[in-house]
Structure 1
Amino acid sequence: MFGLCALPFTSLAEGRCPPGQYPIGGQGAGGCAPVPASGGDSQSPVPTGRWIKTWGAIATSAGGDAGVSKGKLSKNEAARESLERCSKWGATDCKVGLTYKNQCVAAVAADKGLGTKLNTGATIEAATERATEDCRRAGSGTCKLEYSGCSEPYFEKF
C-alpha cells in the first residue's frame, strides 16, 4: 500500500476529455462538451448594502483661523463646508489647504511663523506622524497637534 503513495498521481478528466468537459456522442463520433454549471439549490450571496466613502477638508487663513469638514459625500461639499466654517471666525482669506477621501488627517502648528502643516494617513497616528515630520522638516522647534480626525466610510443597507 505504501508503494502506491509514492507513485506520481495524475488527474484524469472524464474519459478522453480535458478537465471541465465530459464525453458526448458515440459510435465513433465522439466529442467533448463543457460540464454544465451547477444550477442546484446553492445561490450566490446577495449583497445587503454598500460602503459609501466620504470626503473631508481643512481650510485655513493667514490669520490662523481654520475650518474643518468631514463625512461629506463629495469633495466640493467638504471644501465648501470647511471654507464656511473658517470664515465664521471672521477671516476673509480662507483657502482650502487639503481635501481627503476615506482617510484621516492631522493639522500640526509650527512655531517661528512657519504655519500649520497638514497631512493624511490611514490612521490618526499615521497622519499626525506625517504632519509632525513636515513641521520638523520646515525648521520648527515646537510642533503642536491642533486637529485630527477621520472621514470614514459608512455602510448603507439595501
Structure 2
Amino acid sequence: MKERFAYLPLLLAVLIQAEARAEGRCPDGYFPIGGGSAGWEGCAPMGPGADGAQEPEPQLETRWGAVATADGALGVAAGQESQESAEQHALAHCQTHSEGKVCKVLIAYYNQCVAVAWGDGGSLWARSPDVYDAEDMALSNCQQKTTNCDIYYSACSYAERIQ
C-alpha cells in the first residue's frame, strides 16, 4: 500500500508545474505557435501589456493656434508647432482680408480649443479643452458686452502624438 502512494508527491509536483505553464511549453508573456500539421512548434510574444507590463505613455507634442483681427477682418491658424508660427500664420491670413488695416493677434493658444464670438460691439473669445465649452463661453462673454452675438470661428489645436 505504501508503494502505491510513493509516487503521489511526484505526480502532484508534475501537475502543479503544468498549471504554472498555462500556455504550454512557452514562458510567461508568450503563446505557442505551430505544431499540429505545421511540423514545427515555437513561442510568440503576446504583445504589450500581456505580461503585466504597462504600455509606455504616448509622447505628445504641443500644437499651437492663433487668431488675429483687424477691424472686422479675421485670420486664423491651428495645429502649428510653435506659438510664433501660429501667430505669423494668423497675421498673414488676416492681412489678406484686412483691406490694408493692421492686424493684431487676438489670442494664441495651445493644446486646447478657441472660439470667437462676434457682435455689434466687436469680438470676444474664450478657450477651453472642449470646443463646445469654448463656444458657450465666448457667446456668454459677448452677450454680456454687446448685442447680436454669434460664433464666428472655433477650432482646436490638440497635442499630437510623436511618431
- Give the C-alpha shift of residue 49 in structure 1: 4.8
Identity of aligned residues (%): 29
Query: Residues 41-80 of structure 1: matches in 2 within 5 Å?
Result: 45=54, 47=56, 49-62=58-71, 64-80=72-88
1:122 and 1:72 map into 2 onto residues whose CA distance is: 17
Matched pairs, number = 112
- Give the C-alpha shift of residue 45 in structure 1: 4.9
- Give the C-alpha shift of residue 61 in structure 1: 0.0
Contact 1:104–1:148 under 8 Å retained in 2: yes
Q: Would you tell me which structure has more helix in proportion to its own residues?
A: 2
2:126 aligned with 1:136, yes or no? Answer: no
2:136 and 2:57 map into 1 onto residues whose CA distance is: 37
Indicate the residue corresponding to 1:117 in structure 2: 124
2:143 and 2:58 map into 1 onto residues whose CA distance is: 44
1:136 and 1:59 map into 2 onto residues whose CA distance is: 21
Structure 1 stretches lacking a partner, 5+ long: 1-41
Distance 1:117 1:91, change over 3 A: farther
The alignment partner of 1:92 has SS state of coil
Equivalent position amino acid for 1:152 in 2: Y
Indicate the residue corresponding to 1:81 in structure 2: 89
Equivalent position amino acid for 1:154 in 2: E
- Give the C-alpha shift of residue 119 in structure 1: 1.1
Structure 2 stretches lacking a partner, 5+ long: 1-50
Indicate the residue corresponding to 1:97 in structure 2: 106
Equivalent position amino acid for 1:88 in 2: T
Point out 4+ residue stretches in structure 1 off by more than 3 angstroms: 42-49
Equivalent position amino acid for 1:91 in 2: G
Contact 1:105–1:118 under 8 Å retained in 2: yes
Two-structure CA RMSD over aligned residues (Å): 1.8
TM-score (norm 2): 0.63
Equivalent position amino acid for 2:127 in 1: T
TM-score (norm 1): 0.65
Distance 1:156 1:117, change over 3 A: same
Contact 1:75–1:99 under 8 Å retained in 2: yes
Equivalent position amino acid for 2:63 in 1: T
- Give the C-alpha shift of residue 92 in structure 1: 3.2
